[in-house]
Amino acid sequence: MQRKKHKQKSKLGMPPGSLVFTGVQKMAEVDICVFNYDETFENEIRAKTTDELIKLINSTKGVVWINIDGLHDEKTIEQICTFLDIHKLSMEDILSIGQRPKIEEYANYLHVVLKEINLDQKDDIIEFEQISFILKNNVLVSFQEKSGDVFDGVRRRIREGNGSVRKRGADYLLYALLDNIIDHYFVVLEIFGEKLEKLETELLENPDKSTLSKLHNFRRETLGLRRTVYPLREMVASIEKLDDLLFGSNNRIFTRDLYDHTIKVVETVEIFRDMTSSLLDLYINSVSNKMNEIMKVLTIMTSIFIPLTFIAGVYGMNFSNMPELKHKYGYFVILGVMAVVVLGMLYYLKRKKWL
Amino acid sequence: MQRKKHKQKSKLGMPPGSLVFTGVQKMAEVDICVFNYDETFENEIRAKTTDELIKLINSTKGVVWINIDGLHDEKTIEQICTFLDIHKLSMEDILSIGQRPKIEEYANYLHVVLKEINLDQKDDIIEFEQISFILKNNVLVSFQEKSGDVFDGVRRRIREGNGSVRKRGADYLLYALLDNIIDHYFVVLEIFGEKLEKLETELLENPDKSTLSKLHNFRRETLGLRRTVYPLREMVASIEKLDDLLFGSNNRIFTRDLYDHTIKVVETVEIFRDMTSSLLDLYINSVSNKMNEIMKVLTIMTSIFIPLTFIAGVYGMNFSNMPELKHKYGYFVILGVMAVVVLGMLYYLKRKKWL
Amino acid sequence: MQRKKHKQKSKLGMPPGSLVFTGVQKMAEVDICVFNYDETFENEIRAKTTDELIKLINSTKGVVWINIDGLHDEKTIEQICTFLDIHKLSMEDILSIGQRPKIEEYANYLHVVLKEINLDQKDDIIEFEQISFILKNNVLVSFQEKSGDVFDGVRRRIREGNGSVRKRGADYLLYALLDNIIDHYFVVLEIFGEKLEKLETELLENPDKSTLSKLHNFRRETLGLRRTVYPLREMVASIEKLDDLLFGSNNRIFTRDLYDHTIKVVETVEIFRDMTSSLLDLYINSVSNKMNEIMKVLTIMTSIFIPLTFIAGVYGMNFSNMPELKHKYGYFVILGVMAVVVLGMLYYLKRKKWL
Amino acid sequence: MQRKKHKQKSKLGMPPGSLVFTGVQKMAEVDICVFNYDETFENEIRAKTTDELIKLINSTKGVVWINIDGLHDEKTIEQICTFLDIHKLSMEDILSIGQRPKIEEYANYLHVVLKEINLDQKDDIIEFEQISFILKNNVLVSFQEKSGDVFDGVRRRIREGNGSVRKRGADYLLYALLDNIIDHYFVVLEIFGEKLEKLETELLENPDKSTLSKLHNFRRETLGLRRTVYPLREMVASIEKLDDLLFGSNNRIFTRDLYDHTIKVVETVEIFRDMTSSLLDLYINSVSNKMNEIMKVLTIMTSIFIPLTFIAGVYGMNFSNMPELKHKYGYFVILGVMAVVVLGMLYYLKRKKWL
Amino acid sequence: MQRKKHKQKSKLGMPPGSLVFTGVQKMAEVDICVFNYDETFENEIRAKTTDELIKLINSTKGVVWINIDGLHDEKTIEQICTFLDIHKLSMEDILSIGQRPKIEEYANYLHVVLKEINLDQKDDIIEFEQISFILKNNVLVSFQEKSGDVFDGVRRRIREGNGSVRKRGADYLLYALLDNIIDHYFVVLEIFGEKLEKLETELLENPDKSTLSKLHNFRRETLGLRRTVYPLREMVASIEKLDDLLFGSNNRIFTRDLYDHTIKVVETVEIFRDMTSSLLDLYINSVSNKMNEIMKVLTIMTSIFIPLTFIAGVYGMNFSNMPELKHKYGYFVILGVMAVVVLGMLYYLKRKKWL
């Protein structure tokens, strides 16, 4: 249950706005994929240079969705951001993984940062991937740490033109992508929840030492999730209050739906937290119960055999004058006495409900 | 104590507003039952087709209450909603079980979602059934997961015309139905509370291993209840602030009453939560106490018999020169010494209050 | 430590405003006692019929205080309320015991509900009695579950005309009665607190099994108190914001005093809660300490005698060739060895601070 | 560790504003000490009668600070208050010890109540003394339960004329006195904190039974402190919002400083609370650890000697046909076997890290 | 794990605004270092006298940053503050270490106090150093307890003229310094976090007594951190609301960034708190588990050998008439019986999953 950890590069002493990618490079080359569409056409390009991108943006009136997988090529990202007139601090945030989910309104664009989650099922560890969005007029740029995401449903809807994504602007596209990210939380939480229930069964039936460390792991992951999910709620709530020019008010009703989903995510995580702490109490108690059972066995064995052993010891003494020893049925009488002691002891234990 | 679980169907990747029933089909056929009444007449129909419904709504001025049991027939539900001009997202919410209790104002209708609770008495598990309401002018549509509900009192009052339900509009009907749902919470909570008290008695008198798992179950159910009941409070509170056109202000005083009841539900659940955690502490302590008792018996037995066994052991040694052994009364003297040891030990234990 | 419980009668399915007394009848007949006074005169009547009451109210300009002990005679109460033009929901609340403390402003009267508390000293159980007030112009009606209350001080002041109660209106009378109820909380809390301190002493000095169940009882009662006392604070706070026509603003300064007292009640209950949970921790720890002590005795006894018994056992073996056995002082040497073992063991235990 | 307790006299049934001293008389005679000063002169009088006081107040334009030690002489206090035109409820609060810290604005004067704390170092108990202030124009009256306070610094500054106290009005004097009271909290908290740290060391090094009851005592005292200190914060915060006529706005900057100090007091108490609960956890764990150690010793002793004793027992049996017994080296072989058993056992325990 | 503690000098009884350094002198001489720069020039001086400073401030139009290491020379500091027209209470705060982080607006200057943190890696203790800033027009004065800080990055940027620090005013310099202080929190928290993870591994693999005291230490340090970090958030949040004349509004966007970082610091500390309490639970449980294991061994040893020893004891009795003893194969039969007992016991323990 080794935890993967990526140490952030220290940026101490650098001036604010310094563009340094602080994460771990997870893929060889930055991959830029562009969707250009409106109600009437749809076009997919795998862009090579920034110039191509700029030319495209300048020439089209449709929505342009630029998806960038990989953040280690700081120069390319800077070029795109500079062309879009993005503030230095925004650029810094895009490159610094480890941002809290937030939404920031700038004069002429919107900057959204949040995390996508995935479950490393082997180790039951939740992995976070930072995704940033820049929304400016009809252009949406999405920045991801690595390839592979949860946007395939949206891509298909753009290609096939079903749903209303092609009929609406880049702000609706942003909403649709956010919706997919948050829906994916449910998928991960559901698997996580099932694992938690399996742990519960294990705990009630046959807890052992590894159960404890599994439980501890779940608890830690839940704590981590909670920290990610709380600011998410705030963030989604603030979408409703955005300037109309940045995020069209005709999308309001959808953001309300998004907010409902986010609340449910938060609640599910809260339930997990309560569950893990409830399971921990259960664990402590089963350990105590087990100890009690062990002690009972010990006490029963001791209580029965120690008096018997003592009696045997008495008649094992070598005194020259021990009248009982010479009695013909002495041995059998003593065996009888022992039997009585055992029965008495058993009766006593029965009455105490230890047997 | 198996927990029944219905896995939600994943809707990942579908466009928002997709109409998919995410629950488990609990009955064979959707059952649509319509009440049409005003102060002067009352009429009950079991509708077969959507067309009948539409005709009825168009032709009457009285209140129309359409109750739909079963949500798996997505098409019928869509037709009704479309006729009433309900937003796609509302429809989606009606079909997706697992919604949080909420009340949503749309331009021309009101959408209410909440849970009815029932207690599966065999397993002490609380079951939730989602109930949605659409209130539009004189039409109230209620959607339930399955047949069987808590509305029979209201039905009787409509039929018999007692109370003020026939004299007031569809908004009062909505209030009356909500009131019944929340009153039913009390019924369930009371049974739950009685079971909790029985558990308390069991715990104080004769706790065993199953007590712990019962306690754990109660705790989990209480956590679940709490999550359902908290948003209920918010929801009911927001009724007071609704637009007059959607929910008549002459019903305000009743919603205040509803709110009082909801607060009491919340408080009762809170008391259960405190009770279960208090019972858990009690359990931990009784287990510790029991262990103490066991250890005491063990220690007493050991403390009394081990020294005696040792003495017997000494005189069981086979040394050729052990003067005591040859003494005529040696055996009896040693028996006396043993008695003294036992008495001393008993006195010591008495003074320690272990006996 | 049996808990008295009165199951509320279920009102499920009844229309709102149904007048059913939900408590347990605690006295044979409803007792109506009326005070009529102003600065110049004072008059006490034990009313028999509602008509008498109505005549009195219509004919006097002084303050009329109608105190009703016993709620099971629903008809009489309905008549009085109807004469005073009280809303159906208010009547329902007066008859339903189990209300949360609250203050409700109606168009022409004020409705106050709260609990009086008493301590059943034998079982250390706090009993709640619901008291409702209706304040309308110069008439104050108080409804109690049973006879016997904390208002004797006020009655005496009315009779003797000392204090300012005779010089002020029915609203001041309401304040004075509330003040007495809340002052009585202190009396009960003080006794409760003393019992808690006695429990603390018991716990520190000689805890046993019954201590735990007493502690559990205190905790439960404290939880119950807390639930009653929290809404009380809210309620008293809202008095300050009442309409001047319902509650004269010249009484404001007194309600501030009332609020201070309520806060103190809340704080005292909070202290009790902290105390009980602190005592529980203390209990857990003393149990652990006791167990430690028991285990120490066990371990000391075992550690000393088991090696000795072993040595004795060795020389109890019947080998034909055991040179030590034939040695003249073998026995005494072995006794010496045993003494050395005991001393060594004692030294070891001393150093470990177990002796 | 006996807790001193002063039972409040019950005031149940008395009309509001009744002047009864509810504390314990702590000194023989009420001691009234008056300071009269302005920038140019300073005058100290020990007043005997109320008339003297009244004459002084009427004749001077300087600040008059009347300090009254002892509250049991209700008549004198009433005379002074009546002359100053103080409301009955204020007088009642001055005489009722057990008030929460508060500040109350009346039409023409300011009423401040708070607690001074002292540490009874022998029993580690924090003692509270209620101090009330009445500020009216140039007159400040302070009421204390007993002689001995923390105002000597202010008295010296008045006498010597250093600092700005002589140059400013009675409101600044009030601030200076409050400042001294709160600064004294730090002194007490520091000593308390040192004792807590000593307890921590004791706990880590050599916890015993008395440690637990000390810890419990600290916890209780911390809870008590917390209840006193929280309303203090509120109270000091509300000074900033006082009417300019009652408390000059040119003192605002000083009250901000006062507020900062109060916050620090609150935080220190919070740290103590966290510390005590952290220490409790530490205690529980050290007890568990100790138990573990005891059990280890028991188990080691038992595991080593029980098999040996059994072997010895076998060869102590008296069967006529036991070939080993007759073997010449049988005894020595068995001793060897025993040594092997011991070594095996030690190896096993070593590997388990129990040795 | 000795905790370094510096007792604050008591200031009780001194008038407010008394200038006394309440810390421990950490360096021999106060060291004053001045940076004077604007976009075109940069100048570093090590000032000796206050006069030099005053001359410089009067003669330059560029930004003047005066950094003072060491607070024990109260006179020098008073001279500088007096020249800058700083309020007595501000001066007092600068000299009193132990201030809460805060930002105070005065009529013509800004006063900022916060803590720099450092980790004493040997003892895992977090050390706090108070840093105060006075910002007045183009002059920024920083006061530190001792030399050595986290401002070298800023100094380099001033010297080399990169970043925008030279192009902006003293308010931006203040921001840059605050940013460095808060970034340094991350550096310390990261090391702290790594130590916590090492402790977690230790705890899961091989907990011993020292683990507990380490854990306790971490917990205490986390509590301390939390108290420092919470007011920091408030403080940074209030920067945004400062008067434009004191802190230029063109720096707003940077303070938002600063706020984000502070929130992250707070969250990290919260995670540490949750981690330590989670680790404590883990510790308690591993101790219980270990105890269980010990008890199991004890019980197994006892359960197997006690019956055997008893059987051996029986046949060690010296009765004259014990038929079995004379049987030729009696001994071997009994050995067989013992083997059966052992096997039965092993089977029983196996079934109980204790082996």
Which residues between 5 and 44 in chain E have a beta carbon less than 8 angstroms from any beta carbon of chain A? none
Residue A282 has pLDDT above 80, yes or no: yes
For residue D152, the chain E residues in CB contact (below 8 A) are 13
Give alpha helix (H) positions in B240-319. Answer: 252-314
Please, what is the end-to-end C-alpha distance for chain B in angstroms?
41
Angstrom distance (rounded) from CA C3 to CA E267: 46
Which residues between 193 and 212 in chain B have a beta carbon less than 8 angstroms from any beta carbon of chain A? 206, 209, 212
For residue E290, the chain D residues in CB contact (below 8 A) are 292
Q: How far is D30 from chain C (nearest CA, A)?
A: 27
Q: Is D162 on the interface with E (CB under 8 A)?
A: yes
Q: Which of D165, D187, D302, D319 to mutate to test the interface with E (most CBs of E within 10 A)?
A: D319
Angstrom distance (rounded) from CA C170 to CA A197: 61
Query: Position E203: which residue type?
Result: L
Long-range contacts of A326-331 (CB under 8 A, 24+ apart): A326/E320, A327/E319, A327/E321, A328/E320, A328/E321, A329/E321, A330/E319, A330/E320, A330/E321, A331/E317, A331/E319, A331/E321, A331/E322
Give helix B74-84 / helix B88-95 axis angle, nearest 10°. 150
Yes or no, beta carbons of E319 and A330 under 8 Å apart: yes
Q: What is the pLDDT of residue A12?
A: 61
Q: Which of E222, E299, E300, E326 to mutate to test the interface with A (most CBs of A within 10 A)?
A: E299
Selecting from E150, E157, E183 the residue whose C-beta is nearest the C-beta of A11 gives E183
Selecting from D274, D321, D354 the residue whose C-beta is nearest the C-beta of E331 gives D321
Yes or no, beta carbons of E223 and D153 under 8 Å apart: no
CB pairs under 8 A between C and D: 154
Selecting from E179, E267, E303 the residue whose C-beta is nearest the C-beta of A227 gives E267
Phi/psi of residue B93, nearest 5 degrees = -65, -35
Yes or no, beta carbons of A206 and E353 under 8 Å apart: yes
Task: Give the chain B residue whose CA is nearest to the CA of C298.
Answer: B299
Q: Are D280 and D215 in contact (CB under 8 A)?
A: yes
For residue B318, the chain A residues in CB contact (below 8 A) are 318
**Touching subunits for chain A (3+ Cβ pairs under 8 A):** B, E
Which domains are present in chain B?
31-286 (3.30.460.20), 289-351 (1.20.58.340)
Would you state the torsion angle of the CA atoms of residues C170, C175, C179, C181, taken in this order, to the nearest 10 degrees? 60
Q: What is the pLDDT of residue E65?
A: 94
Angstrom distance (rounded) from CA D4 to CA D125: 9
pLDDT per residue as tens digits for the range A94-134: 998 888 899 988 888 999 999 999 988 787 889 999 999 99
Q: How far is B139 from chain A (nearest CA, A)?
A: 24
Yes or no, beta carbons of A313 and B308 under 8 Å apart: yes
ipTM for this model:
0.77
Cross-strand bridge partners of residue A355:
none
Q: Token pair of C206, please?
A: 């000689």
Q: Is B174 on the interface with C (CB under 8 A)?
A: no
Strand B102-105 vs strand B110-120: parallel, antiparallel, or unpaired? Answer: antiparallel
pLDDT tier for residue A7 given thresholds of 50, 70 and 90: very low
Yes or no, beta carbons of D309 and E309 under 8 Å apart: yes
Q: Which of A289, A309, A325 to mutate to test the interface with B (most CBs of B within 10 A)?
A: A289
Angstrom distance (rounded) from CA D89 to CA B219: 48
Selecting from A271, A310, A319 the residue whose C-beta is nearest the C-beta of B305 gives A310
Residue D335 has pLDDT above 90, yes or no: yes
A13 contact partners, CB below 8 Å, separation of at least 6: E152, E153, E154, E156, E180, E183
The whole-number average pLDDT for the span B164-193 is 91
Q: Token pair of E175, please?
A: 């921001």
Residue B5 has pLDDT above 60, yes or no: no
Q: Is C329 on the interface with B (CB under 8 A)?
A: yes
Q: Are D325 and D315 in contact (CB under 8 A)?
A: yes
Please, what is the end-to-end C-alpha distance for chain A in angstroms?
41
Yes or no, beta carbons of C326 and B320 under 8 Å apart: yes
Residue C234 has pLDDT above 50, yes or no: yes
Angstrom distance (rounded) from CA B216 to CA B226: 15
Selecting from D254, D295, D306 the residue whose C-beta is nearest the C-beta of E16 gives D254
Task: Give the chain D residue whose CA is nearest to the CA of C345.
Answer: D301
Residue A267 has pLDDT above 70, yes or no: yes
Please give chain E's pLDDT, 355 residues, in tens.
344 444 455 566 677 777 777 777 777 788 899 999 988 898 898 877 888 888 888 888 899 999 999 888 888 888 889 999 999 889 988 998 888 899 998 888 999 999 999 988 787 889 999 999 999 989 999 999 988 888 988 999 999 887 788 888 899 999 999 999 999 999 999 999 999 999 988 888 777 778 888 898 999 899 889 888 989 998 998 888 888 888 888 888 888 889 989 999 999 999 899 889 889 888 888 888 888 889 999 999 999 999 999 999 999 999 888 888 888 899 999 999 999 999 999 999 898 888 7
Q: How far is E297 from chain D (nearest CA, A)?
A: 7
Long-range contacts of B188-191 (CB under 8 A, 24+ apart): B188/B117, B188/B118, B188/B119, B188/B126, B189/B265, B189/B268, B189/B269, B189/B272, B190/C7, B190/C8, B191/B119, B191/B121
Sign, Cα dihedral of C164, C170, C171, C173: positive
The whole-number average pLDDT for the span D341-353 is 91
Q: How far is A109 from chain B (nearest CA, A)?
A: 25
B208 contact partners, CB below 8 Å, separation of at least 6: none
Q: How far is E89 from chain D (nearest CA, A)?
A: 8
Angstrom distance (rounded) from CA D168 to CA D188: 29
**Touching subunits for chain E (3+ Cβ pairs under 8 A):** A, D
The whole-number average pLDDT for the span D336-352 is 92
Burial D45-82 (b: 16+ CB within 10 A, else e): eebeebeebeebbeebebbbbbbbbbbbeeebbbbbbe
Question: Which three-class secondary structure state does DSSP give residue B46?
Answer: strand
Yes or no, beta carbons of C254 and D89 under 8 Å apart: yes
Question: ∠ CA D72-D75-D78 to the nearest 5 degrees?
Answer: 105
Selecting from D264, D278, D322 the residue whose C-beta is nearest the C-beta of E220 gives D278
pLDDT tier for residue D340 given thresholds of 50, 70 and 90: very high
B269 contact partners, CB below 8 Å, separation of at least 6: B189, B222, B225, B226, B229
Q: How far is A114 from chain E (nearest CA, A)?
A: 14
Angstrom distance (rounded) from CA E197 to CA B241: 51
For residue C316, the chain B residues in CB contact (below 8 A) are 313, 316-318
pLDDT tier for residue D4 given thresholds of 50, 70 and 90: very low
Helix, strand, coil distribution of chain E in percent, nearest 5: 55, 15, 30
Q: Count Cβ atoms below 10 Å from residue C3 Cβ, excluding itself.
A: 13
Give the residue with greater pLDDT, A243 vs B259: B259
For residue D100, the chain C residues in CB contact (below 8 A) are 260, 263-264, 267
Count the alpha carbons within 13 Å of D87 in the hemisphere toward its beta carbon.
15
Q: Which residue has the tokens 């931990």?
A: B284
Yes or no, beta carbons of B292 and C295 under 8 Å apart: no
Yes or no, beta carbons of C312 and B307 under 8 Å apart: no
Which residues between 265 and 284 in chain E have a beta carbon less than 8 angstroms from any beta carbon of chain A? 267, 270-271, 274-275, 278, 281-282, 284
The whole-number average pLDDT for the span A208-219 is 86
Q: How far is A56 from chain E (nearest CA, A)?
A: 31
Residue B118 has pLDDT above 60, yes or no: yes
Q: Is D332 on the interface with E (CB under 8 A)?
A: no
Q: What is the pLDDT of residue E5?
A: 47
pLDDT tier for residue D13 given thresholds of 50, 70 and 90: low
